[in-house]
A and B are shown apart, each in its own frame.
Chain A
């Protein structure tokens, strides 16, 4: 009886709720890392695609932001489509990007004069569908700016990665300020995995997720991304093949 008298308003409300739910589901598509120890702890089992993520380097990494750049490149290497990389100074080395799975055919660079310009370019890039993601190198990231990026990313379903990069190490305290990013990471270098011979092993990172919307913070040691952008848990030394990497003493022409 009551069913028959269902008001139209209630129907409309149901439609609205359904819309919200589907929109939410769309935003919740994820890009898994392929490392269960990380994916299990992230909501949805991976890095949310239509969202803003923030990556910073530890210690001196706050200045040249090399580890965060490699981390971001590794993530986007595993997503299909071109990447827009917004920067302020031209010191990103393209051969290194190619070595973690982002060949030159996939990256477009936009060089803005200042940080406001970088943020504006990121937002513009997020508005154009079809990109794998947009990376921007910024020092300051205000709540307003990050919210704008987050909304733009949600709307177009593209991943936005803000690499935090400061001019002075002291400025890195800015990382304590809240932003609207879905996840906030810090990647610091660790001494590499030891090799049976002399030489530098596969780089290792101390990966900290210190903020995650609808998730828990955690940290772990991990081996840096490989030629296809995959991370890997450090294997026990015994499992390592004797010559996983050529050692010292090579000379190239």
Chain B
């Protein structure tokens, strides 16, 4: 699988963070705010918000100059350590939501390994949009780029001038060639040096012979170039919360055989469970990182329905995931961590009670790790008269105690969430059709029950205020029974289109 990397650029990170911290007391967004740092002995603008930039201020300007230019300018001291610590926390948050491999990228961004993650969000484009929207909801300005390499994504997120940039696989080199050399994550003096030599864009740098370049400016520009073009692997060392319990094993000789990996993974699980036991915790999630000799990090993750430190079970679940881990030329280090471990509470066994509830957490863990947690669920009732809204998904472990579905109105065994239009021969406004054609087959209605009138839910959408539907249970000549409805009451055009639909099939 070609690696895919997401780079998230937070251009206003220090000021956005400041605003977030101030909460309701924050000044209106159009107030210019600058963060003050030191350049030598001079107090200078280290960062500014959008309003300040619009007012004509720029980074590096002397504070005295800025206050004279912009009346009412708010000054705050730049808190580099605080920003970095907060970025670390943001990375941990992103790790829970998007991908196990997330790290802070410089002082104002995140890098996320999206390899094999994007399909969970419906594609890379959608994932990038989701990330940006999520960040914007918590008050953070962000631009997001996806590319084949960390360097490429980093450059595109910061210099492409687009809020979302998805470079299709294989095109990263072409996409970044027109960007300035400053996009290569090089220190300022090196960028200046390149400029003096006449290199403005990454493309120009790429086209020049590398030997003289190394001779002149050292190895760094070429290294960054190779990383951005994906010629040199650059592993993303994922963040880990300080309190995360973890164990690691470093191998003198890289391992690669599946059974060997499984063996060491089992040992590590046992070791981790011992650590968990000492802390009185149970794992809710296990992340295993496989550091390969070729400087890539593969990972496997399992989730658990309830906290556990049952080494045998956890090892079995982890080993099932091993087939997704490609050891390449060998794995030289495995780290196994239990992020977000929770206090483990043992329930009193009630063996003597007759109606002892069966513990299904083991089965649910196995199935959710195999199918994905969103594919193992219960169905519970939701308060709605509309049949398609009356069912909601519930987590598999908390069994709903009661339900609110009607007991006396028949409900079909198979229900089509998207009703299919049918052609009908209908008589009176209140009567079911005498015959209908569904999926090319004509059914003559032998008998029918209904109507069951369902009204629109005006509190959900204004358009539903006047709507109603009439549901009928009809039986055709062969005895097959269907659930059909008319959109509307059959008389008033306001109530619906008066067309007939197939809603489900009874058993």
Interfacial residues, chain A to chain B (CB-CB below 8 A): 59-61, 64-71, 73, 81-82, 84, 90-99, 103-113, 117, 120-121, 124-125, 128-131, 187-192, 195, 198-201, 203-204, 224, 227, 247-248, 250-253
Interfacial residues, chain B to chain A (CB-CB below 8 A): 358-360, 362-364, 366-367, 370-371, 375-381, 385, 387, 390-391, 394, 396, 399-401, 403, 405-407, 409-417, 441, 446-455, 473-475, 477-481, 504-507
A248 to B472, CA, bound (A): 10
A97 to B474, CA, bound (A): 19
Task: Give A170 Cβ to nearest chain B Cβ, in Å.
Answer: 15
Query: Which of these, B411, B414, B454, contacts A64 with CB under 8 Å?
Result: B414
Q: Closest B residue to A61 by CB, please name it.
A: B480
Let me know if B391 and A93 touch, CB within 8 A.
Answer: yes
Q: Closest A residue to B506 by CB, please name it.
A: A66
Let me know if A111 and B376 touch, CB within 8 A.
Answer: yes
- Scoring B363, B376, B452 by chain A CB atoms within 10 A of each residue's CB, the highest score goes to B363
Let me know if A190 and B479 touch, CB within 8 A.
Answer: yes
Query: Which of these, A60, A120, A251, contacts B452 with CB under 8 Å?
Result: A251
Sort A-B residue pairs by CB-CB distance and give the 9 closest, nearest first.
Answer: A70-B507, A130-B358, A93-B415, A95-B405, A94-B379, A66-B507, A189-B479, A95-B411, A111-B375
A200 to B473, CA, bound (A): 8
**Inter-chain CB contacts under 8 Å: number:** 189
Residues from chain B with Cβ under 8 Å of A84 in the complex: 363
Residues from chain B with Cβ under 8 Å of A105 in the complex: 378, 399-401
Q: Closest A residue to B415 by CB, please name it.
A: A93
A227 to B407, CA, bound (A): 9
Residues from chain A with Cβ under 8 Å of B363 in the complex: 84, 124-125, 128, 131
Let me know if A253 and B417 touch, CB within 8 A.
Answer: no
- Scoring B359, B367, B387 by chain A CB atoms within 10 A of each residue's CB, the highest score goes to B367
| Also in contact, A203 and B506, with CB within 8 A (given A70-B413, A128-B360, A251-B453) | yes
Q: Closest A residue to B409 by CB, please name it.
A: A252
Let me know if B480 and A109 touch, CB within 8 A.
Answer: no
Residues from chain B with Cβ under 8 Å of A107 in the complex: 378-379
| Also in contact, A112 and B379, with CB within 8 A (given A67-B507, A191-B446) | no
Let me know if B415 and A121 touch, CB within 8 A.
Answer: no
Residues from chain A with Cβ under 8 Å of B410 in the complex: 99, 200
Residues from chain A with Cβ under 8 Å of B480 in the complex: 59-61, 189
A60 to B379, CA, bound (A): 27
Residues from chain A with Cβ under 8 Å of B507 in the complex: 66-71, 96, 187, 189, 203, 224
Task: Give B157 Cβ to nearest chain A Cβ, in Å.
Answer: 33
Residues from chain B with Cβ under 8 Å of A113 in the complex: 371
Let me know if A128 and B362 touch, CB within 8 A.
Answer: yes
A120 to B474, CA, bound (A): 37
Residues from chain B with Cβ under 8 Å of A96 in the complex: 411-413, 415, 506-507
Task: Give B448 Cβ to nearest chain A Cβ, in Å.
Answer: 6
A239 to B215, CA, bound (A): 104
Let me know if B414 and A94 touch, CB within 8 A.
Answer: no
Let me know if A91 and B479 touch, CB within 8 A.
Answer: no
Residues from chain A with Cβ under 8 Å of B405 in the complex: 94-95, 98-99
Let me know if A104 and B381 touch, CB within 8 A.
Answer: yes
Let me know if A91 and B416 touch, CB within 8 A.
Answer: yes
Task: Give B437 Cβ to nearest chain A Cβ, in Å.
Answer: 14
Task: Give B167 Cβ to nearest chain A Cβ, in Å.
Answer: 29
Let me know if A104 and B477 touch, CB within 8 A.
Answer: no
Let me know if B358 and A81 touch, CB within 8 A.
Answer: yes
Residues from chain B with Cβ under 8 Å of A125 in the complex: 363, 367
